[in-house]
C-alpha cells in the first residue's frame, strides 16, 4: 500500500471511495481532495445525504428494487402498464432499462442468475414471488430482460418452464444484445431496440 498522505480519517475516506465501481485508489484520492476543498458546498451535504440514504434504504417487498420505501417508487407508479412485467437480474439492470425509457412497465428483480458452478440455485432467486405476481391475472406478458450470458440464458429457460403452467406470454430481448453482453453496459438506443423487438419464447 502507498504511504499515507494524510491523517487516518482522510486515508479511510480514500480507502472507502476507492472500493466504488469505476474508482481506483488514484481517482478516490482525487475525489477526496475535491471534497476537502469543497467542504461546505459538497462534503457536508454529501455526508448528510449518505447518512439519510443509509438509514432509509430498503428492498421493495414487491419487486426487489432498492429504494427508501416499500413498495418502491416504481411499484407505486400507477401510470405504468400493469400487464407487462420485466424480469431483470439486478437493480442496475432495472435502472439501465428505465434510463432507456422504452416501456413503462413493472419490474421484478431476481437478485441473481442461476450458476450451478458457483452454487447459485433456484432458491437464491426471487422466483416464488415472481410466480405469484405472474399468476395474479393482471400480468399478460413477462419479458425476460436477462444478460446474454450462459447464466442469463439458463435462467431464462428455467423461468420460461416455470411460467408455462401460469399461462402468461413469455418474451425475451431481441437482437441488439451482444452475446456475453451485460445490460448495464449497453447504451439506451440498443436497450430500447432490444426491448421493443422482443421475441416470444413461451
Under 8 Å between Cβ of 84 and 139: yes
Under 8 Å between Cβ of 200 and 173: no
Does residue 91 bind Zn ion (CB under 5 A)?
Answer: no
Q: Which of residues 28, 60, 142, 177 is near Zn ion by CB under 5 A?
A: 60
Of residues 60 and 193, the one with the C-beta less far from Zn ion: 60
Does residue 62 bind Zn ion (CB under 5 A)?
Answer: yes
The distance of closest approach from Cβ of residue 62 to Zn ion in the complex, given in angstroms and rounded to an integer, is 4
Q: How far are the Cα atoms of 31, 33, 55, 67, 125 from residue 4, in angstroms, in the given order? A: 16, 14, 31, 36, 42
Does residue 17 bind Zn ion (CB under 5 A)?
Answer: no
The distance of closest approach from Cβ of residue 90 to Zn ion in the complex, given in angstroms and rounded to an integer, is 14
Please state, in angstroms and rounded to a whole number, the distance separating the CA atoms of residues 196 and 188.
12
Does residue 177 bind Zn ion (CB under 5 A)?
Answer: no
Q: Which of 122, 121, 127, 84 is nearest to 109 (CA)?
A: 127
Of residues 63 and 105, the one with the C-beta less far from Zn ion: 63
Binding site for Zn ion (CB under 5 A): 60, 62-63, 65, 72, 75
Amino acid at each position: 500500500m502507498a504511504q499515507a498522505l494524510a491523517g487516518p480519517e482522510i486515508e479511510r475516506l480514500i480507502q472507502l471511495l476507492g472500493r466504488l465501481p469505476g474508482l481506483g485508489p488514484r481517482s478516490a484520492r482525487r475525489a477526496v481532495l475535491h471534497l476537502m476543498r469543497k467542504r461546505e458546498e459538497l462534503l457536508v451535504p454529501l455526508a448528510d445525504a449518505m447518512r439519510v440514504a443509509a438509514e432509509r434504504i430498503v428492498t421493495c417487498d414487491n419487486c426487489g428494487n432498492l429504494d427508501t420505501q416499500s413498495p418502491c417508487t416504481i411499484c407505486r407508479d400507477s401510470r405504468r402498464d400493469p400487464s407487462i412485467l420485466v424480469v431483470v437480474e439486478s437493480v442496475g439492470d432495472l435502472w439501465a432499462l428505465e434510463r432507456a425509457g422504452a416501456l413503462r412497465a413493472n419490474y421484478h428483480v431476481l437478485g441473481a442468475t442461476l450458476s450451478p458452478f458457483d452454487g447459485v440455485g433456484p432458491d437464491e432467486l426471487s422466483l416464488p414471488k415472481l410466480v405469484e405476481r405472474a399468476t395474479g391475472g393482471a400480468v399478460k406478458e413477462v419479458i425476460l430482460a436477462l444478460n446474454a450470458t450462459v447464466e442469463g440464458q439458463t435462467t431464462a429457460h428455467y423461468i420460461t418452464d416455470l411460467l408455462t403452467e401460469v399461462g402468461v406470454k413469455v418474451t425475451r430481448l431481441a437482437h441488439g444484445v451482444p452475446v456475453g453482453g451485460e445490460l448495464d453496459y449497453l447504451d439506451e438506443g440498443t436497450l430500447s431496440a432490444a426491448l421493443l423487438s422482443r421475441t416470444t419464447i413461451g
